[in-house]
Amino acid sequence: MKLKNYQMYINGEWIDSVSGKYFPSYNPATGEAWCYVAKGTAEDVDRAVKAAHDAFLSPEWSNMTYTERGKLVRKLGELISDRVDELAKFETMDNGKLIREMRGQLTYLPEFFYYYAGLADKIHGETLPIDKKDMFVFSSREPLGVVAAITPWNSPLYLTTLKLAPSLVAGNTIVIKPSEYTSASLLELVKLVEEAGFPPGVVNVVTGFGLPVGDTLTSHPLVSRIAFTGGTESARHVVRNSAENFAKVSLELGGKSPNIVFEDADPDNAAMGIIAGIFGASGQSCVAGSRAFLHVDIYDQVMDRLVDRVSKIKIGDPLLDETEMGPVATKAQLERVEQYVTLGHEEGGKLIYGGKKPEQIGNGWYYEPTIFEHTDNKARITQEEIFGPVLSVIPFKDEQEVIELANSTNYGLAAGIWVKDVARAHRVAKAIRAGIVWVNTYRSVSPVAPIGGSKLSGYGRESGYEAIYEYTQTKTVWINTSSEPIPDPFIMR
C-alpha cells in the first residue's frame, strides 16, 4: 500500500519542500513507517517566515478588530471539536500514546481556543495617572510580529495550541515547526485553520528536523518571538539563536518532578496520583512525577498499593481503549530508558518492579512500568530526566528534609503533595521551587492556569492570561496637550 505524503503549509498553500524530499514517520506500536512528511530546508523556512511577515503587515490581518480575530480563533476551536476522534488517531499513530489519552486531550483542546477567543477583546492597555502637567499618557498592548513555534512529540496538538491560540488573538502571525516524529496531526489541524477563514500567511507549517528547520527558523531575522517546547540541549541552541534578533523567548523544557506523600495522606489516592504522574503517558510528559518521596510512616502502605496497581497495568496497542500503557514514542527513547535502568542498577538502586521490555508485544517500542527504590536523591536516575516509565522512590522522615530533597535537582517544573494538613500543604507548596504545584491531585491542566518552570525547566509561562503578556509588548503613547512653547530642549522633561 502506498503511504500518504504530507506536504507543508506556507502562505495558504500546500507545497513540497524545495528539496522535493520526504522522510518517514513511524508508528511506535509497530516500529513501521505509516506516512511520509516533506523534508523542509532553510529555503522553505525563509519562505514561510517572509509569508508570515507579509501577513503580519497586511491590512487584512493588522487592521482586523480583536473581536473578529477572537471569532476566527473560536471557529477553529469549534472545527477541532468536530474532528476529535480523527485527530486523536493521527497523534496516537505518530507518538504511540494512548488513544484515550489523546482523545481526552483533544476533547478538551477547544476550551483553550474558546478561552483565548474570549480574551481577544480584553487585550488592552491603561491610561496612566502621569506625574506631569498637560500630558496624556496611555499604554497599549501590541502584537510582536512573527512567532516561531517549535514543538515536541509528546503532546503535539496540545503543546502547539498553547502557542497558537494566544499568538493569534494577540495579532501575531506564526510559523510552526512540529517535531519530526509527529507532524501529521498538525498538518491535519491546519486544514481547519484554512476552513476557519484565517488569511493566507497567518499560520504556516514547515516540517522537518531541528537542523536545518528549527535552527534556521529560530535565527531568522524576521522572527520576533520564539516559543519552544522540547529538550534542554535544543533549547540552548534556540536561546543562542535568539540573540541574532533578540527575539523574545519562552522555554518549556523537562523536569524531575517530585511527588511527596506525607504520613497523613490518603494512601490509595497517593498511589493513584503517583501512577498518573509517571506511568500515565508512559512517563513521556514534561511534568512526569518521576521521583516519589514517601514518609517512612506511610511508606509500606503506599508502596504496596503502588506495586499492586502497577502489576495490573495493561500494556499494549495504544489504539485499543482498554490499554493503559502504550510504547514509548521513538526507538531512541526506548534505548534511553534502557540505559537509565542499567545505570539505576549500577548506582545501587533496588529494582522493585519492571526493568525490562515486556514479552510478546510484537516489534513496538514498549517498556515495562519500572520502579526503583533508593536511599537518597543523588543517583543519576534520580537527578536526570528519563522521559520514560521509570519511577524512583525515596523515603523521608520530616518536612524540612523532603523540601530540600525535592528542590535538589536542576529542574523546577512541577510537584505533587499528598497531605491532609492544610497548613502543611500551604507551607510546602510555597517552599517547593516549581512553576506548578498540585496538592492531592496530579497532571491537572486548564486554559485558565499558567504552565512553566524555572532552572533547567526553562522560563516564560504558557496558558492562562499570562500568555497574552508573553505574546504582546507594551507601547506607551505620550500626548502633550499644552499649547505652550517647548522650554529648554537640552533637559529631559
User: Which residues are at the interface with ligand TXE (CB under 6 A)?
Assistant: 150-154, 177, 179-180, 209-211, 214-215, 218, 229-231, 234, 237-238, 252-254, 286, 385, 387
With CA atoms as reference, report the closest residue to 252 among 205, 289, 287.
287
Cβ contacts of 299 within 8 Å, gap of 6 or more:
395
Cα 382 to chain center, whole Å?
22
Of 35 and 271, nearer to ligand TXE (C-beta) is: 35
Helix (H) or strand (E) holding 369: none
- Min dist. Cβ of residue 208 to ligand TXE (A): 8
- Min dist. Cβ of residue 328 to ligand TXE (A): 10
Q: Is the four-CA dihedral 281, 282, 285, 287 of positive or negative sign? A: positive
Cell of 364: 513496538
- Min dist. Cβ of residue 286 to ligand TXE (A): 3
Active site residues: 252, 286
Of 77 and 452, nearer to ligand TXE (C-beta) is: 452
CA angle 93, 94, 97 (to 5 degrees): 75
- In this structure, are residues 275 and 306 in contact, taking their beta carbons and an 8 Å threshold? yes
Cβ contacts of 340 within 8 Å, gap of 6 or more:
380, 381, 384, 386, 388, 390
Nearest-10 crossing angle of helices 66-81, 84-95 = 70
- Min dist. Cβ of residue 321 to ligand TXE (A): 25
Phi, psi angle pair for 25, to nearest 5°: -115, 135
Of 177 and 305, nearer to ligand TXE (C-beta) is: 177
Of 215 and 373, nearer to ligand TXE (C-beta) is: 215
CA angle 311, 316, 322 (to 5 degrees): 80
- Min dist. Cβ of residue 155 to ligand TXE (A): 7
With CA atoms as reference, report the closest residue to 307 among 342, 354, 343, 264.
354
CA angle 63, 176, 223 (to 5 degrees): 60
Q: Amino acid identity, residue 395?
A: P
Q: Is 307 exposed, middle or buried (0-12, 13-18, 19+ CB in 10 A)?
A: middle
Of 255 and 447, nearer to ligand TXE (C-beta) is: 255
Of 176 and 303, nearer to ligand TXE (C-beta) is: 176
- Min dist. Cβ of residue 475 to ligand TXE (A): 30
Of 44 and 252, nearer to ligand TXE (C-beta) is: 252
Cβ contacts of 378 within 8 Å, gap of 6 or more:
none
- Min dist. Cβ of residue 211 to ligand TXE (A): 6
